[in-house]
Amino acid sequence: MNSSIEPPTSLLSVPTGALRIPELPPASPNADDEAVVFSLVIPTYNEAANIHKIVSVLSTLLDESMAGNYELIVVDDNSPDGTWNIAQSLVSEYPQLRVMRRQQERGLSSAVIRGWQASTGSVLGVIDADLQHPPHVLEQLLQAIEQGADLAVASRHVDGGGVSSWSFIRRFLSRGAQILGLLILPGVLGRVSDPMSGYFLVRRNCIVGQTLNPVGYKILLEVIGRGKVGKIAEVGYVFCERKQGESKVTWKQYVDYIHHLIRLRLSTGPLGRFSQRVGFPIGRFLRFGLVGLSGVFVDMAVLYLLSDPTTLALPLTRSKIIAGEVAIFNNFLWNDIWTFADVSSHQQQWRQRLKRFLKFNIICLAGLVLNVLVLNLVFNFIIPNRYVANLIAIAIATVWNFWVNLKLSWRVTQVK
């Protein structure tokens, strides 16, 4: 990476931690007419050929209707073609433009949310950088919000909408994905005609304070699924062909989409609501428990391989220490990529991972000590049955392991 290319003015700093939109600071009384009303995020990856055009078209359009009251936020994931650098060089010409360059995270949906987090508008929006979303539709979308909609979606499936020259296969896949979504999450996908749209505006207060947790491309699902969205308006538009650069859509987006649907289903379903009501992450705890169970099998298998007379026949204590550590390693890996995936995916440097692993190790060791203490206490003073006492000890140690790891190892708020 060439660090000698320093942009002329400073880039927006990248928010860290949970993907949660903060409330706006109370407006100061004399800054009234200077306040940004509308923040439009333009996510980019390798859009060097489009970025100038889209910024210029949007600026011209918005200068007419809301000069000075809007901001354009380009969120670029460190594109190899230097999109962020080109965008930053445009700032002097387009003073409403801000640029964020992300180096630690990637992905369309999280880029959009990071942009909104850094924004100061009371209406938030997103538009593609490749000019496939016709900018003039913004006027109607803004109008819909002004007339009281919480969410205004540009749709390919209402009057005036369409796709310019999609192949039969692509139309089929798109509709198939929509039908699958309707089956899994009717309460979300049923609310709009084009739930796959990546072109929409939403009132900030509909999603403020809500931790968003999207996978892949379909940020609108997350907004409708987790936000408090009342009235929805739709505006038809024709999805144009890309003229410059290329689409980043691969088969992975289809897998991500299904993953996203299932995640939303589980977390906004009855279990998710109950877990919110009692303030305890039940789904996460169940995953943690399942991973713990897998560790028991790993521990057993390694113990067998090392200490069994028919295998290596090593001393028992030494074998058990190794088996225990291998199990801890196994558990850590699964917890990191599954139980706490939402947290670890934003902290992927190997040093951050190593730190989590060391913490996890120490907490689990403390859990073992707790386990032994509780076993003795319960067995000697409460229930004189060693297996019942052991079950109670294991349950308490599991809750300890879970809770302390949740708070310390996979901590959501990140200290810089």
Ligand X SMILES: Nc1nc2c(ncn2[C@@H]2O[C@H](COP(=O)(O)OP(=O)(O)O)[C@@H](O)[C@H]2O)c(=O)[nH]1
Work out whether 264 is an interface residue with ligand X (CB under 6 A): no
CB of 128 to ligand X, least distance (A): 4
Work out whether 44 is an interface residue with ligand X (CB under 6 A): yes
Nearest CB to Mg ion, comparing residues 68 and 134: 134
Nearest CB to ligand X, comparing residues 149 and 177: 177
Q: Is 64 helix (H, G, I), strand (E, B) or coil?
A: helix
Out of 12, 19, 38, 45, point to the residue binding ligand X (CB under 6 A). Answer: 45
Out of 22, 106, 274, 362, point to the residue binding ligand X (CB under 6 A). Answer: 106
Nearest CB to ligand X, comparing residues 243 and 355: 243
Q: Which of residues 67-86 bind ligand X (CB under 6 A)?
A: 75-77
Nearest CB to Mg ion, comparing residues 45 and 402: 45
Radius of gyration from C-alpha coordinates of the chain: 26
Nearest CB to Mg ion, comparing residues 50 and 344: 50
Q: Is 70 helix (H, G, I), strand (E, B) or coil?
A: strand
- Choices 41-49, 88-96, 131-139, 280-288 (CB under 5 A): range interacting with Mg ion: 131-139
Out of 130, 299, 336, 342, point to the residue binding Mg ion (CB under 5 A). Answer: 130
Q: Show the binding pattern over residues 354-373: x = contacts ligand X (CB under 6 A), - = does not.
A: --------------------
The one of ligand X, Mg ion, none whose footprint includes residue 194, by CB under 5 to 8 A per kind, is: none
The one of Mg ion, ligand X, none whose footprint includes residue 45, by CB under 5 to 8 A per kind, is: ligand X
Ramachandran angles phi, psi of 39, nearest 5°: -115, 115
Token reading at 222 = 């997350």
Nearest CB to ligand X, comparing residues 84 and 332: 84
Identify the H or E element spanning 317: helix 316-334
State which residue has the least CB distance to ligand X: 247
The one of ligand X, Mg ion, none whose footprint includes residue 105, by CB under 5 to 8 A per kind, is: none
Sequence-ordered alpha helix ranges (H) in 194-315: 204-207, 219-226, 251-268, 270-278, 282-307
Q: Is 334 helix (H, G, I), strand (E, B) or coil?
A: helix
Q: Which of residues 128-187 bind ligand X (CB under 6 A)?
A: 128-130, 132
Q: From CA 127, how far away is CA 131, in angstroms rounded? A: 9
DSSP state, 269?
S
Q: From CA 175, how far away is CA 194, in angstroms rounded? A: 10
Instruction: Please name the residues in contact with 130: beta carbons below 8 A apart, sequence gap of 6 or more.
Output: 47, 50, 54, 242, 244, 245, 247
- Choices 42-50, 202-210, 391-399, 402-410 (CB under 6 A): range interacting with ligand X: 42-50
Residue entry with tokens 């509909």: 206
The one of ligand X, Mg ion, none whose footprint includes residue 76, by CB under 5 to 8 A per kind, is: ligand X
- Choices 16-24, 124-132, 161-169, 254-262 (CB under 5 A): range interacting with Mg ion: 124-132
C-alpha triplet 117, 237, 223: angle, nearest 5°: 30
98-118 as b/e: b if 16+ CB within 10 A: bbbbbeebebbbbbbbbbbbb
Q: How many residues bind Mg ion (CB under 5 A)?
A: 2
Nearest CB to Mg ion, comparing residues 79 and 132: 132
Query: 108-117 and 219-226 helices cross at what angle (nearest 10)?
Result: 60
Work out whether 43 is an interface residue with ligand X (CB under 6 A): yes
Out of 59, 117, 119, 132, point to the residue binding Mg ion (CB under 5 A). Answer: 132
Nearest CB to ligand X, comparing residues 164 and 385: 164
Q: From CA 75, how far away is CA 39, in angstroms rounded? A: 12
Residue entry with tokens 């038809």: 236
Nearest residue to 68 via CA among 34, 92, 94, 91: 34
Nearest CB to ligand X, comparing residues 142 and 219: 219
CB atoms within 10 A of CB 344: 18
The one of ligand X, Mg ion, none whose footprint includes residue 234, by CB under 5 to 8 A per kind, is: none
Q: How many residues bind ligand X (CB under 6 A)?
A: 18
* Interface residue list for ligand X (CB under 6 A): 43-45, 47, 75-77, 106-108, 111, 128-130, 132, 247-249
* Interface residue list for Mg ion (CB under 5 A): 130, 132
